Amino acid sequence: MSVKYVLTKKRNPSDSQAPKKVYAQAKGDGEVTFKKLSQEIAEGSTTVSDSDVLAVLNDLTKCLRRHLSEGRIVRFGDFGAFQISISSEGTETEDKFHSALIKGGKITFRPGIDLREMLNNLTFEKLK
């Protein structure tokens, strides 16, 4: 299976006068729900049901939320790591900075070795 993409014209954000260029943009090809993932995981096991897996995944989500909100990096072994990153307005000096200048946060994910290897072996297909 290939990653689907479409072509789109975009401006250079650092040079608004430059002509637009054509770039590839990945397009999702369906989605997989938590329930479906739990069923797939359970199918690979003889000892747990999809309900058991779903319960663990729900608890995992709660733990991930708690630890990230406390500023921790959450490592999932070879799967990868989740971490909070923030963006803020800048000031000339540290003395002028205050937390109200922080615009917000987002969750970043750094894939582990298996997912990085998967990225190196992707194939692509233009969506018609």
pLDDT beneath 50, residues of the chain: none
Q: What pLDDT is recorded for position 45? A: 84
Q: What pLDDT is recorded for position 5? A: 94
The one-character DSSP state at 65 is H
Contact partners, residue 126, CB within 8 Å, separation at least 6? 4, 5, 6, 7
**What are the pLDDT digits (tens) for 25-45?**
999 988 998 889 889 999 988
The pTM of the full predicted model, rounded to 2 decimals, is 0.74
